[in-house]
Amino acid sequence: MKQMPKLNANLKAELLATGSVDVDASLLTGTSTSSAGPGTGLKSIFFTSGGHRVRLDLNKNSPLTMIKENNDFIILKDDKELVRGEIEPVLAHCPEQAYITLSERCIYDCKFCSVPKLQGRIKTLDEVVNIVEHAKKTGLMKAIAITSGVAESPEDEIERLVAVISALKRYNVPIGVAAYPTINSTKLLKEAGAVELKYNVETMNRDIFDKVCKGLSLNFILDSLRDAVPVFGKNRVSTNFIIGLGETDECVREGVEHLAKMGVIPVLRPITLQPLRKDELEATRPSAERLLKLALMTREIIDKYGLRVDVSQTMCLTCTGCDITPYRDI
Ligand code: SF4
């Protein structure tokens, strides 16, 4: 009998390097797609097979296409079958988690992010609770994750996050939070009930950071990450490190080492070229080879510092949809 190709680290890297798939809408009837988080405005699917999961944007112009044969979803490249699997249900933004973007607007203007361009609304507590209730009813909700743009000021945003997290504690699932830090945000978010914390460095190349994240401070983010580790505990603090902004592999290696030495787990995130940002950002989506090489290197470094990804309970290290995640994928 013919062996069905399943997803593995190499195939996942190939899919991630493309980042999108063309799917006829009729195939997705009865499945749920995602439209929150950093890729707000795009619709995606979560494809899973062989114990790996990948998030792909839906794009009519993608070189990858999807067909359905009996109960299998098949991804084709140049009309050849690449991999077979299933489409996972999305609770809120991703599978198994209610991952909610609280303020869909931002006073900052990071050039890779669509949130400032959309200048959306700030969800009320009732709206957030409704999303979580809906996710809970599926019986699939294992965690809650909250992120947010900065609607008015970082301090004001932390206050809003604290109120939401305090209200969501009653669901008795782990809560993760990703935010821009303030002087006392770590303490406040921990006391509110968050168990995992993410402050994003975005890049460890200072020149690129200054160009792409105007108005934010990399030093402050790094200090906040360092100080958060003893508060949240080992393996409970992470940071997104975007790949494809022009940084070298050596910069990634040094950056990952710097972060891991502080006890922070880096999430290497292939850049998504937002249609709303195409004229403002010079970026190249990393190749499959680069993604695999950097993920393997990260695995070795976090291992050296005794960090573990498999104990993560919330956000991207658990979801794994957008990245090659050390230990989970490779
Ligand atoms: S890896 Fe993170 S950003 Fe990507 S879909 Fe999962 S939770 Fe969302």
pLDDT on residue 33: 63
Instruction: Enter the tokens of residue 229.
Output: 């580790």
Q: Which atom of ligand 1 is nearest to the CA of 315?
A: 7
Host domain of residue 24: 9-87
Residue 37 — pLDDT band, cuts 50, 70, 90?
very low
First to last CA, the chain: 28
pLDDT on residue 118: 87
Average pLDDT over residues 318-323: 98
Q: Is the CB of 99 under 6 A from ligand 1?
A: yes
Using CA atoms, how far residue 31 sits from 88, 95, 108, 119, in Å, is: 7, 12, 35, 28
31 vs 126, residue with greater confidence: 126
CATH (domain of 224)? 3.20.20.70
Instruction: Enter the tokens of residue 108.
Output: 């900052």
Q: Which of 316, 325, 328, 329 maximizes ligand 1 atoms within 8 Å of its Cβ, making it the mutation to test the pocket?
A: 316
Determine the Cα–Cα distance for residues 156 and 278; give it in Å rounded to an integer. Answer: 31
Q: Is 160 found in the same domain as 119?
A: yes
Determine the Cα–Cα distance for residues 27 and 17; give it in Å rounded to an integer. Answer: 23
SS3 254: helix
Measured in whole angstroms, the distance separating CA 273 from the mean position of its chain's CA atoms is 15
In a domain, 313, yes or no: yes
Closest-CA residue to 99 (of 146, 34, 141): 146
pLDDT on residue 187: 98
Average pLDDT over residues 63-77: 94
DSSP for 17-42 reads HH-EEEE-GGGGTTS--B--GGGTTS
Determine the Cα–Cα distance for residues 297 and 259; give it in Å rounded to an integer. Answer: 13
Q: Which atom of ligand 1 is nearest to the CA of 46?
A: 5
Determine the Cα–Cα distance for residues 188 and 170; give it in Å rounded to an integer. Answer: 18
The per-residue pLDDT of the chain, averaged, comes to: 94
CA of 320 to the centre of ligand 1 (A): 6
Residue 45 has pLDDT above 70, yes or no: yes
Residue 40 has pLDDT above 60, yes or no: no
Q: Is the CB of 180 under 6 A from ligand 1?
A: no
Q: Is the CB of 47 under 6 A from ligand 1?
A: no
Instruction: Enter the tokens of residue 252.
Output: 């990634």
Which pLDDT tens digit goes with each residue over 269-320?
A: 999 988 888 888 989 999 999 999 999 999 999 999 999 999 999 999 999 9
Q: Is 99 found in the same domain as 25?
A: no
Q: Is 278 found in the same domain as 177?
A: yes
The domain boundary, picked from 31, 62, 87, lies at 87
Residue 53 corresponds to which amino acid? R
The domain boundary, picked from 64, 87, 110, lies at 87
pLDDT on residue 119: 83
Q: Is 223 found in the same domain as 150?
A: yes
Q: Is 104 found in the same domain as 25?
A: no
In a domain, 158, yes or no: yes
Q: Is the CB of 94 under 6 A from ligand 1?
A: yes
Share of the chain above pLDDT 90, in %: 87
Q: Is 100 found in the same domain as 80?
A: no
Residue 58 has pLDDT above 70, yes or no: yes
Which pLDDT tens digit goes with each residue over 172-210?
A: 999 999 999 999 999 999 999 999 999 999 999 999 999
How deeply is 303 buried, as exposed, middle or buried, from its count of CB atoms within 10 A (0-12, 13-18, 19+)?
Answer: middle
Nearest CA to ligand 1 atom 4: 322
DSSP for 39-96 reads GTTS-EEEEEETTEEEEEEE-TT-SEEEEEETTEEEEEETTEEEEEEEEPPPSBEETT
Q: Is 104 found in the same domain as 71?
A: no
Residue 129 — pLDDT band, cuts 50, 70, 90?
very high
pLDDT on residue 325: 98
Q: Is the CB of 93 under 6 A from ligand 1?
A: yes
Please give the tally of structural domains in the chain: 2
pLDDT on residue 41: 45
Instruction: Enter the tokens of residue 268.
Output: 């290497």
CA of 36 to the centre of ligand 1 (A): 9
221 vs 3, residue with greater confidence: 221
In a domain, 3, yes or no: no
pLDDT on residue 71: 87
Print burial letters for 217-256: b (CB count within 10 Å at least 16), e (below 16): ebeebbebbbebbeebeebbbbbbbbbbbbbeeebbbebb
CA of 1 to the centre of ligand 1 (A): 36
In a domain, 231, yes or no: yes
Determine the Cα–Cα distance for residues 196 and 315; give it in Å rounded to an integer. Answer: 8
Residue 38 — pLDDT band, cuts 50, 70, 90?
very low
Average pLDDT over residues 138-156: 97
Average pLDDT over residues 223-251: 98
Q: Is 100 found in the same domain as 70?
A: no
Q: Is 135 found in the same domain as 19?
A: no
Q: Is 315 found in the same domain as 182?
A: yes
In a domain, 216, yes or no: yes
pLDDT on residue 26: 84
Q: Identify whether the C-beta of residue 243 lies closer than 8 Å to the C-beta of residue 285.
A: no
Instruction: Enter the tokens of residue 215.
Output: 């108005």
Which pLDDT tens digit goes with each residue over 151-169?
A: 999 999 999 999 999 999 9
Residue 39 — pLDDT band, cuts 50, 70, 90?
very low
